[in-house]
Chain A
């Protein structure tokens, strides 16, 4: 069972629809206990960095997520679900992120902001991604301290990190649930990771 974390803002239905389409079992979850009970977690993000962190903290979900990650549970972050893995963001000064990765989140300074539309994802190492076009809606992007966690990069006036992967943590800046067959393929591969991980433990 995959848990889609509901922190009180996002439109979670499209992620659920995509998982249903792939035949993967999933449910919407909103408590630390549920985070513990599912086999993999997806955090889709809509809203702002500060808004999400505040909501996660008020429900104790921040600690539950970090705990689940440290125990090896597969995590899939989408959009803000990628950004909050880092320490801080220009979007919400003074708000601490989950700090799973070192680095920060900064704003695009050139071109139309937010970038809305399809952009090319170029994998820089082997992982859950192929080269392809994905649907983005973002004003901010992550700047990881450690190069080795970067899985994919994308150009939008600046060459930015569009995907990261380290051990059981996988996260992308784009919306795989809205990225056509390319996005469905990524979700399918991650669902396989969850199933494999579950059968081993």
Chain B
């Protein structure tokens, strides 16, 4: 059967990895190429880079990071952040990315999901959704979590699946950077409703948080950031813990 995926996520700003807390207060955490290689050798199943560099003129920095990383690690590489056009997607794929993650643009221009999945295939189009709890449901946020859209997360997720998204990267804004555990309810709701894989993000602090997002949250993959970047755990330790708890994960590197 398919293994559950452990995916380190690197927020990259001007070519450097940073990790924020609740979408604010950026802290420096390292060199993207070095970190990606370290996680690859430790057994990461994929790597996600989110480019949080706002300016277009710095975009070339990200492309060169992607080029270098794809020459040294041989697992899927997803890149998100600031993607607006088919041309942006083509540039990233040509630089060596395997998938791209669309977030704000997916909301402001949903047609791009359809167009890009037709041109490049659904397998390389990931839609990232930043979700904030609103009572019994969740609201979609865009522009790095700064702007509410009034859209319901579940409805939006169904819509992006219908438009051709191949996977959903679901971030709980309430949990991101808090180390209080993933939003299990939100993750399970989407995973059980949709037919495409759900990558859960936001909140991993302890090993049990990760096992719970697979068992109770029914996630297909889990994003890990802070606890890796600051060296609290290695990918290999995380996988060892999953195996001990009878969660199927890939062995080897």
Contact = CB atoms under 8 A, between A and B. Distances in A.
B144 interface: no
Given A132-B252, A178-B98, A112 B1 contact: no
B3 A117 contact: yes
A110 B27 CA distance: 44
B49 to A, nearest CB: 16
A54 B64 CA distance: 35
A17 B96 contact: yes
A76 B166 CA distance: 26
A37 interface: no
Contacts of B1: 119, 155-157
Given A117-B3, A135-B76, A181 B220 contact: no
B91 interface: no
B123 interface: yes
B252 A181 contact: yes
A117 B221 contact: yes
Contact of B45 (A21, A117, A177, A183): A117
B54 interface: no
B75 A178 contact: yes
Contacts of A182: 252
Nearest to A20: B71
B253 interface: yes
Contacts of A157: 1
Nearest to A177: B74
Given A17-B71, A21-B71, A114-B123, A133 B250 contact: yes
Interface string A38-69: 00000000110000000000000000000000
Interface residues of A, number: 35
Contacts of B250: 118, 133
A179 to B, nearest CB: 7
B189 interface: no
Q: Which of B40, B76, B122, B197 has the most CB of A within 10 A?
A: B76
Contacts of B72: 21
B74 A184 contact: yes
Contacts of A180: 40, 74-75, 252-253
Contacts of B251: 132-133
Q: How large is the interface on B (under 10, 10 to 19, 20 to 34, 35 or more residues)?
A: 20 to 34
Given A18-B74, A21-B71, A46 B3 contact: no
**Chain A binding surface, main DSSP class:** mixed
Contacts of B175: none
Interface in B48-78: 70-72, 74-76
Interface string B14-53: 0000000000000000000000000010000100000000
Contact of A156 (B2, B5, B40, B45): B2
Interface string B86-122: 0000000110101000000000000000000000111
Nearest to A176: B74
A184 B252 CA distance: 12
Interface in A177-199: 177-184
A155 B1 CA distance: 5
- A-B pairs, top 9 by smallest CB distance, nearest first, are A133-B250, A118-B250, A118-B3, A137-B123, A117-B2, A116-B197, A178-B76, A119-B2, A180-B75
16 contacts: A11-B98, A17-B71, A111-B2, A112-B195, A112-B220, A114-B166, A116-B167, A116-B196, A117-B3, A117-B5, A117-B197, A135-B76, A136-B2, A137-B123, A178-B76, A184-B74
Given A133-B252, A184-B74, 4 more contacts: A46-B123, A118-B45, A133-B251, A155-B1
Interface of A: 11, 13-14, 17-18, 20-21, 46-47, 111-120, 132-133, 135-137, 155-157, 177-184
Interface of B: 1-3, 5, 40, 45, 70-72, 74-76, 93-94, 96, 98, 120-124, 166-167, 195-197, 220-221, 250-253
